[in-house]
A = this chain, B = another copy of it.
């Protein structure tokens, strides 16, 4: 392995000067610098991260602890984080598949001493969890977390706001009998989406709302769709807490020969890639996932730069309603 000593010898200077020339713009004469840079290039010298980290107390890496890596969501999230990390010259360490709190704690531990900060997305982070498993000196940001840890800022998608907006859209289109297919109650964003729906319909005259169980799976959406068709009174519009359930629900409607949006309007949440390929294409709420990752990383970089200003603030990344054919306009159908 070629070390800084080899470069020093080759350039006929001390290792201290090599270090200064290659790093900051510390005082080095142009000629010396050139000689050193040439020697380093000739030798294909790359500083050993470990040695540098040991003295600078910086790893130039941040860690992302994720519950899983399955599907588009995590791919987009990592993409957003990675892009922002690159812009800051930071390496990205990912760790996933933490089935339970014990695994999450172990992953947390393993990352410690390897990164300058942590992005944590985990259903297992409950109040007190981080106090117990995370060094106080390691900056961390919580992503999509329900829990309000005293020491950590949080970044969430605006599930509540998105659900409000979609519900408002359905009402504006003239729908009055609404059904909501819920996500798993254990899931924070599922609860937020339900809350957005519930609060928006609350107290509206002439508006009825019904709720069906779901677990974010296509199958549960299919079952909910069947149940809706079997009910005494069918809704005008169905709002599924995610796209997969909306797709399942759509299958149930299609199989039964129920026209969407003619007889029942349908909306989902997430805007997964296949949403626009459905028949009819699915009206849904787009979540800016890459932006979430980007915002999380920026917040973490801020924490790393000024750890003393730690605040348990909550940043929210907005969602937007994407109108497609599955949500027919009840009021202006005639006009089309």
Give chain A's interface residues, CB within 8 Å of chain B: 1, 44, 46-54, 59, 61, 69-72, 74-75, 78-79, 82-83, 86, 91-97, 109-114, 135, 137, 247, 273-274, 277-279
Distance to closest chain B CB from A151 (angstroms) = 15
In the assembled complex, the Cα of A114 lies from the Cα of B61 at a distance in Å of 10
Residues in chain B near residue A53, CB distance under 8 A = 49-50
Given A71-B72, A279-B279, verify A83-B97 contact (CB < 8 Å).
Answer: yes
In the assembled complex, the Cα of A111 lies from the Cα of B78 at a distance in Å of 18
Residues in chain B near residue A135, CB distance under 8 A = 1, 44, 46
Contact B72 A79, beta carbon cutoff 8 Å: no
Contact A78 B78, beta carbon cutoff 8 Å: yes
Our pick among B83, B91, B94 for the contact of A110 (Cβ within 8 Å) is: B91
In the assembled complex, the Cα of A42 lies from the Cα of B61 at a distance in Å of 27
In the assembled complex, the Cα of A73 lies from the Cα of B96 at a distance in Å of 17
Contact B50 A59, beta carbon cutoff 8 Å: yes
Copies of this chain in its oligomeric complex: 2
In the assembled complex, the Cα of A61 lies from the Cα of B92 at a distance in Å of 11
Distance to closest chain B CB from A218 (angstroms) = 9
| Closest B residue, CB atoms, query A1 | B137
Residues in chain B near residue A49, CB distance under 8 A = 50, 53, 59, 113-114
Among A70, A75, A83, A137, the most chain B Cβ lie within 10 Å of the Cβ of: A75
Can you report 11 A-B residue pairs in the complex whose CB atoms are below 8 A from each other?
Answer: A1-B137, A49-B53, A50-B59, A51-B54, A69-B78, A78-B94, A79-B96, A86-B95, A86-B97, A91-B93, A92-B95
Residues in chain B near residue A95, CB distance under 8 A = 82, 86, 91-92
Residues in chain B near residue A113, CB distance under 8 A = 46-50
Among A91, A95, A273, the most chain B Cβ lie within 10 Å of the Cβ of: A91
In the assembled complex, the Cα of A92 lies from the Cα of B137 at a distance in Å of 23
Given A44-B135, A69-B82, verify A93-B59 contact (CB < 8 Å).
Answer: no
In the assembled complex, the Cα of A1 lies from the Cα of B53 at a distance in Å of 14
In the assembled complex, the Cα of A48 lies from the Cα of B75 at a distance in Å of 30
Residues in chain B near residue A93, CB distance under 8 A = 61, 91-93
| Closest B residue, CB atoms, query A247 | B277
Distance to closest chain B CB from A200 (angstroms) = 29
Contact A114 B91, beta carbon cutoff 8 Å: yes
Residues in chain B near residue A274, CB distance under 8 A = 273-274, 277
In the assembled complex, the Cα of A137 lies from the Cα of B44 at a distance in Å of 12
Among A53, A114, A273, the most chain B Cβ lie within 10 Å of the Cβ of: A114
Distance to closest chain B CB from A171 (angstroms) = 29
Residues in chain B near residue A109, CB distance under 8 A = 46
Distance to closest chain B CB from A214 (angstroms) = 18
| Closest B residue, CB atoms, query A134 | B44
